[in-house]
Amino acid sequence: MLLFFFCLTSISAQEDFEQAIGKLSPFYPAQEHSEQADWIQKYIKSRLEKADIPYTETPLNTLKDSHSFAQNISVVLPGTGDQNLIIAVPMAEHGSAANTALALELAERFSKQEHISHIQILFLGADFIGAKVSSEELSNGKYSLFYLNFKEIPDEIILQTGNREHITPYWMVNYCNSTMRKAGLKFNLKPEQNILYSIGMIPEPSPLDIYLDAGITALMMYGEKREKPQYASIWADSFCRFVEYFEKQELTHHENEDQNYFIMNLGDNYFIFTELYIMLFFLAVTSFILFYIVLHAKQARNYVHLFLKNFFIVFWTIMMLFIFFQISTWISELFLSVTKLDTQWQTIIPELISLKVLICLVFLVLLLPTYSQFKQHNLGNFYSGSAIITALLDMVIFMAIDFSLAAHFTWSLLCIFIFAVAKRRHIKFLCMLLSGLFFIRTIHGILFYPALNLCQNLIFSSMWTNLYLALFVLPFIFMGIRIFYVIPLKVELKHIFSKLTGYAVMIILTVLAFRFIYLYKPFDENNRQLVNAIEFYDLDENRGTLTLESDYKLGTLLVQNGNEEISVSSKDKQVIYDIKKPQEEVSVWAATNRFLDRKTIEFHVAAKGKPDQLYITFKAPAKDEKILILDSTYPYQIQDDTVSFFIGKNQPMPFELKVTTHKDSAFDAQVEICYSTMPFDFIFSGDNKYCKTSLILSKKLSFQEEK
């Protein structure tokens, strides 16, 4: 009977979870304070009330530097201990039916059972503003926070563990690693992402930034539906078990706040090494090298002597590598320009990196025979010693840039050192391969992450970037030269090998270039071309323009704009057409009242349809003049001679703004009404294209000082 009762309640909970996803899905994606978002909030509150779970609502209009018409919904479930676990759930742009349904499932389950941590579930009415309001409320305590950012029920949970300035502390990542595995959840820690966050190569903002910047230990979970997604109810049950295991941990927040840990994975198993272990590994390797140098001082002196004596070879190699990287950059840019893919490079990142590597490889193979001209005694030892010294130089330079690279360069230095002292050729060859193991894995992860900012720097390298690249590959080049000239083959055979390698690489380059110039089609049914249709209408001049633009040539397309039909056939990336007045009526006016030394202006905006955003700015007649704002019904920001007002999305219509200024303040007010969905018929058609529309209605009002 107990087993039957357990199964019955379990099935009931599963049906509730799946039904919630079914009911919520039609309302996503939802903008903040839209009709869809309002329905979602009503659904959340009705579910909480039905389960007898208390909640509070926090309006998002209390900040001085932002504003929203939405509100956060907060559920607090007291625990028996003094630990605090926050689960933040977006309801607007980053929201999804999976996030909301999962949060409701968590609220209902933990409201009926005893738990150690104080659990707070935050439904964020606006992604960034809601996160900012909640972070200010949480800034006075020690909290652990999960930000749920699932698009659908994922087959694999990806954990975001940092932002541009901060990394999620070691202890939280370590607890997630153990508790997710215990709960049976498939997850991915993305070992390369911490490095990318540390060196600032993922500049895109996310709501997680707000919590990490406020000193809150936070971690984001995201993921999308895969080819073979797990059954929704089973996955939700596993996730609830994960939260249950996590909140029962002894979360001593000051146990290890390390942000310089190193993540390594072998299959689905993750090993996380703290800064202490990285330093111990570094000290062990350097101590081993120093101990060997002491025991073999004569050999060490010989390496240093050869390096100094033949330093011109090192300098010449660096300069050649720098020139090769610079030439490969120019060829890559020319290639993109010829193929008209200069704005679509993000879609072919692995191919572009391969192109650049192959170009450099051709030059390197052509350069190899010149090293046979250096006939100095013990030149083989020179290349081995140079590999060690340049590896040490790389370690100093790149670890100074960011400590997160310490494990990579320490491992590389160890392999290069063993390469230099080993007597057998097969050991040398193995060490050369192993020396770049961590770098190859990290670069592979970066290319398929993808880290667009870093990839852009690698493809369109500046002179300084090419110099860093030359220094980075220098030890590996010296190892390759050492191996090449130590192999017991005749000089003629080595020259034949180098020529054949050069020919092979050049053939690959030719095939690659031919494919992209003549055969590559950047867009298809699965990857359609984005065309931005921006309609701007000046209400003062009574004239408007329609701008169609894309990152690639527009080609052939047809636009039905209200009663106008526009046919486009262009090889340009942008075309502009004059258009007639929009069908929708818009009214923008202001009333001014003066009393003593104050001037009060009431703005009135009425627009049909549903504008997404309203922008109101004041501009002084001259840059050296200031506008004094004494009071305003909405928050504002003053920058030099411009005042910008923060008005939330999906503002009510008609809209009113009341501003009080000094009576002598002179300025022009610019009012812009923005739609993302056209309030009239707008039909777009084009092969393998899709359209993103926006309508901007502009009105200028002038306010001069009192005479």
Position 5 pLDDT exceeds 50 = no
Out of 474, 492, 518, pick the residue that ends a domain. 518
Out of 518, 549, 580, pick the residue that ends a domain. 518
pTM of the shown model? 0.83
Position 151 pLDDT exceeds 90 = no
Residues 491 and 354 in one domain: yes
User: Which of 69-83, 147-161, 415-429, 517-531 has the lowest average pLDDT?
Assistant: 517-531
Distance of alpha carbon 372 from alpha carbon 379, whole angstroms: 10
Number of domains comprising the chain: 3
Strand order in the sheet with 543-549: 574-579, 543-549, 529-538, 689-703, 667-675, 613-619, 642-645, 636-639
Position 310 pLDDT exceeds 60 = yes
Across the strands, what pairs with 565?
560
Confidence class for position 3, pLDDT limits 50, 70, 90: very low
How high is the pLDDT of residue 448?
67
Position 572 pLDDT exceeds 60 = yes
User: Which of 86-90, 200-204, 216-220 has the lowest average pLDDT?
Assistant: 200-204
Out of 225, 240, 273, pick the residue that ends a domain. 273
Question: What's the domain range around 414?
Answer: 292-518
Quick: pLDDT tens for 244-297.
988 887 655 556 677 788 888 887 788 888 888 888 998 999 899 889 888 888
Position 157 pLDDT exceeds 80 = yes
User: Which of 133-142, 469-478, 623-632, 658-667 has the lowest average pLDDT?
Assistant: 133-142
Tokens of 442: 């990290």
How high is the pLDDT of residue 102?
92
The mean per-residue pLDDT over the stretch 388-413 comes to 85
Residues 118 and 190 in one domain: yes
Confidence class for position 241, pLDDT limits 50, 70, 90: very high
- Looking at residue 673, which CATH number applies to its domain? 2.60.40.290
Position 372 pLDDT exceeds 70 = no
| Residue 518 DSSP class | I
Position 581 pLDDT exceeds 80 = no
Q: Are 577 and 588 in contact (CB under 8 A)?
A: no
Strand order in the sheet with 629-632: 586-595, 598-607, 655-662, 629-632
Q: Does residue 619 belong to any structural domain of this protein?
A: yes
Residues 89 and 201 in one domain: yes
Confidence class for position 378, pLDDT limits 50, 70, 90: low
Q: Are 345 and 459 in contact (CB under 8 A)?
A: yes
Q: Does residue 286 belong to any structural domain of this protein?
A: no
